[in-house]
Chain A
Amino acid sequence: MLTDVTSADEGVAGPEASRTRLPGAEGLWVFLGADAVVFALLFGLFSQARRADPVVFEASRRTLDVDLGGVNTLVLLTSSWLVALGMRALARDEQARVPRLVLGGLLVGGLFVVSKAVEYGSAIGAGFTPVTNPFFMWYFVLTGVHLLHVLAGLAALTYVWRGARVRRWSGTRRVVPECAASFWHLVDLLWIMIFPLLYLLR
């Protein structure tokens, strides 16, 4: 598969090879897959805990701000979209557009961190902590581990943005930006599942 990446990057492969291109590096996808499996297990354990105590989970869920959760989803989707546009611009060697699009993704992604800080402050201010009940333990674990992923993704995107400003990346030199972008999209899709599980399931 790494051969596919190299071939497509160098533009020497035919259309068939281009159609089977895996962005970034092969090892990254192993990491992304393992990370996704860990989250799937956490989602399963959360669902099991919810089944054991549905009344407490439902009452606790209703204290969360669903509107803010929805806005957070829109924020991550928009950030992910801007980064995806940046990677497509890079693939076409439109290097002048890449820093702007990645910076847009970074700034919009940063809004998620601000929003989460506000949400945590509000929950803790109202007396809800990880030891309040099983729901809030899961709320802080799932959103906390996800927030760590957000921070790591923002750090990786910052590195990509700094490189893009000095045109370190190009259509034939884009493995690192694509790795960062793929991780950022994983952060997005993990939130797409966390949001309904914690905020919307009645």
Chain B
Amino acid sequence: MLRERVTLVWVGLVAATCLTTWGLGKDALDPAVAVVGVLLLAGVKVVFVMLDFMELRDAPRGPRRAFLLWPVVVVAVALGFWFAT
């Protein structure tokens, strides 16, 4: 269980969540830096959930690329609206 790749990924996702919630999410940083960091980390976390938990790493190229486009679009749209505000 501890030697599984998904366990390593889970540790990374937990670390990224702690950094986001109790680091970047607080008011210590410049808002632009914090928002970019928070959203990019969220996008990276989604990619790893897709590749390793959902097993898309081993999926045919078409569906894998289609799903991996989702975090890219969602993060880009959120950042676009935030910087336009």
Contacts and interface: CB of A to CB of B under 8 A. Distances in A.
Interface of A: 1, 4, 18-23, 29, 33, 36-37, 40, 43-44, 47-48, 50-51, 54, 66-67, 69-70, 73-74, 77-78, 80-81, 83-85, 87-88, 182, 185-186, 188-189, 192-193, 195-197, 199-202
A185 B53 contact: yes
Given A43-B74, A77-B13, A84 B25 contact: no
A26 to B, nearest CB: 9
Nearest to A29: B63
Contacts of B21: 66-67, 69-70, 73, 200
Contacts, number: 133
B65 to A, nearest CB: 12
B6 A47 contact: no
B34 to A, nearest CB: 6
Nearest to B75: A193
Contacts of A29: 63
Interface string B33-63: 0110011001001100110111100111101
A84 B14 contact: no
A201 B38 contact: yes
Contacts of A20: 58-61
- Smallest CB-CB A-B distances: 3 pairs: A70-B21, A47-B81, A81-B10
Contact of B78 (A1, A37, A43, A199): A43
Label chain A's interface by main secondary structure.
Answer: helix
A44 B77 contact: yes
A197 B61 CA distance: 29
A185 B77 contact: no
A40 B74 contact: yes
Interface in B1-17: 1, 4, 6-7, 9-10, 13-14, 17
Contacts of B74: 40, 43, 193
B77 A85 contact: no
A196 B67 contact: no
A185 B18 CA distance: 20
A40 B70 contact: yes
A85 B4 contact: yes
Contacts of A54: 85
A47 B80 CA distance: 9
A198 to B, nearest CB: 11
Contacts of A85: 1, 4, 6-7
Contacts of A188: 49, 53
A33 B34 CA distance: 29
A169 to B, nearest CB: 16
A92 to B, nearest CB: 11
